[in-house]
Amino acid sequence: MILPPTRLLPVAAVLTFATCTLPAQAYVDNCKPPKTNYAEIACTADSKYFVGYNSDYSVRTLLDEQGKALVSSKGYDDVDYYGISNSVFAVMKNNKVGYMNTRGKLVVPTIYDTMRDPNDKYDESWSEPVSDGRILVSKNGKLGLIDTSNKIVMPFTNKYPSIESFSEGMAPVMSKSYKWGFIDKDGKEVIRPQYDGINGNFGGVYGFSQGLVGMKKR
């Protein structure tokens, strides 16, 4: 789920959805990490990658299925190995967000703002994972979409306080009047915001299924 800096939902907009297990979580629950000399091994959202911790947990290393070290967190304030998708994960340096691939190449420079919600002091998220080849990023209080080569797909805008994950090439967007619609992978509005809620399987929980999605309108 996307949690951009300006997201504010009124009580009337809160919806109750049927719950289901995320595929990534299902994998983590059945995680079988490789045998290594690291102090601890953790799973990621991708079954091909793991995270190795050194003895004092100061350094995290991305590992492959054989336990081979791929990328180290040294030199960065934080890394989001757990949200790895399409072999790309978020990194933070000097409080700016970028993206790196599993070969250690910085494919998106660390120039974007963190995605923390300033209205939620408990929010520890600071980036969004790759979703259908697109990345939601924030800059100067506006949201935009880029691809994994840092090409701007949707120019930065404050039109949508919230943009959710893509599912089957579509992503829900919320207008300033708290109505929901959809954009495509090019950032074009294909369904104008007019609905009070969305039911489906976006970001592993809500979204399209066989091209269909549930909508709610008063």
Please compute the mean of the pLDDT values over residues 118-122 and round it to a whole number.
Answer: 69
* CA 55 – CA 23 distance, rounded (Å): 30
Mean pLDDT, residues 38-53: 95
Q: pLDDT value at position 178?
A: 95
pLDDT band at 19 (very low <50, low <70, confident <90, very high): very low
Closest-CA residue to 115 (of 153, 142, 146, 134) = 142
Q: What integer pLDDT is reported at residue 167 of this predicted model?
A: 84
Pull the structure tokens for residue 76: 């960065």
Contact 146, 139 (CB under 8 A): no
Q: What is the pLDDT of residue 148?
A: 97
State both tokens at 20: 């289901």
- Round to whole Å and give the CA distance between 53 and 28: 17
Q: Are strands 170-174 and 162-163 parallel, antiparallel or unpaired?
A: antiparallel
State the average pLDDT for the chain: 82
d(CA 146, CA 167): 16
How many CB atoms are located within 10 Å of the residue 204 CB? 18
Per-residue confidence (pLDDT) for residue 14, from 0 to 100: 31
- Do the Cβ atoms of 87 and 50 come closer than 8 Å? no
pLDDT at 210: 53
pLDDT over 70 (residue 106): yes
The pLDDT > 70 percentage for the chain reads 77
Does position 113 have pLDDT exceeding 80, yes or no?
yes
pLDDT in tens, 124-160: 889 999 999 999 999 999 999 999 999 999 999 999 9
- Does the structure show a pLDDT above 90 at 80? yes
More confident of the two residues 27 and 108: 108
- pLDDT band with cut points at 50, 70 and 90 for residue 118: low
Residues 73, 76: Cα–Cα separation, whole Å: 6
Which pLDDT does position 22 carry in this prediction?
Answer: 36
Whether 25 has a pLDDT exceeding 80, the answer reads no
